[in-house]
Structure 1
């Protein structure tokens, strides 16, 4: 009997299948330090325990995207080990902050399948839920991924494409218990801009860029225990290049967005996300944001900005998302639609 696990191929998935992912992961202060070493993050809630306490978050949580990557990484050996690429996200909600000492475990349900016309790959949709050591939901999300078939001659399954919401409604956002931004310190945070300073349709060029390196993107992906072959094995792709994990680009772009959105402290939800082009070591990543919506929440002093975060290969001062043909503009790497919590 084989002892090793080759991972699941497209024909191994069935709609309704539930997968309990192995290796729960305990978050440590070391994770916080490594996240800050890899990404140029400067948001005050995640950088300062004193600042976090001043807005009602004690003990100081780790970055929300750090928790997302760890939870996401648990799904890779079962869902996307044999992936061509991760295609997108939807309906992601952050339910509670994660603090050092929390242990995250993830389970997924297959909610859709569609074989591609080439007969060699197919798209798998899953809904994943991460819980902590007490069984409390930390975050949940849907994603879809293109996966190789083991046998191109295997029959195609019945096509099931799930209906996913365009966005998480503002009333469905989960504001962390105790969060209070009424005495928010804009000096410590780094910028004075509050909810009312942003207008729908406004675009913000985050100016700064970071060049991707093989060492950093592979170290980050190993930190999340993401085992997808295309990120590490130069023989896994015909072109011999290691594909940068899309989540690495998300965290990099989010960190770059500090310049102009320093007070967009917490990610409350990811409405939709698409990795529109591959990224590789040597690419220089820049970012810009568009304000899609401005809303208030019932929590004291807490507002919400719906933002489109766009990462590009090379700086695009025109901040163009799509060309006249409706396709993504050359150089666009990431189109991420998310809600962030900000002071009113």
Structure 2
């Protein structure tokens, strides 16, 4: 039984390929409050509704979803296509969060492969991709670059149960 996709090994990706990830995720109040409190984030804007409604002349109608929650959800939405065969995260750079996210908003993600390079090991390679998270109305809420260490098919496919399969990456 295969646990990983037969076409998400390092060799399957091509620089410039775009992915429109099919799943979306609606942010719940519980997502925001749990992660905000677990990480000891004391910024009241994430958990104090009365406070948020009183600052900046009432500009905010709701608590802000913490940036770490938004980032985690967007990266998670990319994972099935981009990093299902990841061995390790290597880096996150250039993170931008240009617009706020509030509870009950649904997020979607897109990605583009921007670099493939050797890792120095025969069983893996490095891939960097640009991810973008958007609300259902298209408003951009999160962008950045993620580098992952990915399995190579020749060394991992049999152990993963992927004895067949494997093709060039294609947009989803």
The bucket for the TM-score relative to the shorter chain is 0.7 to 0.9
User: What's the C-alpha RMSD, in Å, of the aligned pairs?
Assistant: 1.8
Selected match of 2:72 from 240, 244, 251? 251
Following TM superposition, by how much is the alpha carbon of 1:303 offset from its aligned partner in structure 2, in angstroms?
A: 0.6
Aligned pair count reads: 145
1:308-335 C-alpha deviation (Å, 9 max, x unpaired): 11111017xxxxxxxxxxxxxx511101
Selected match of 1:230 from 45, 60, 67? 45
Q: Is the 8 A contact 1:241 1:280 kept in 2?
A: yes
How far apart are the structure 2 equivalents of 1:290 and 1:240?
34
Write the mapping of 1:141-290 to structure 2, written as runs, cut at 5 A: 187-234=2-49, 235-236=51-52, 237=55, 238=58, 239-261=60-82, 262-290=84-112
1:241-295 C-alpha deviation (Å, 9 max, x unpaired): 1000111011111211123122234220112110011000121011111101011
How far apart are the structure 2 equivalents of 1:191 and 1:253?
23
How far apart are the structure 2 equivalents of 1:205 and 1:226?
32
Q: Any runs of at least 4 consecutive aligned residues in structure 1 with deviations exceeding 4 A, and if so which?
A: none
In structure 1, runs of 5+ residues without a counterpart are 1-185, 316-329
In structure 2, runs of 5+ residues without a counterpart are 153-172
How far apart are the structure 1 equivalents of 2:117 and 2:109?
23
1:40-87 C-alpha deviation (Å, 9 max, x unpaired): xxxxxxxxxxxxxxxxxxxxxxxxxxxxxxxxxxxxxxxxxxxxxxxx
Q: Does 1:332 align with 2:140?
A: yes
How far apart are the structure 2 equivalents of 1:313 and 1:293?
26
* Higher Rg: 1
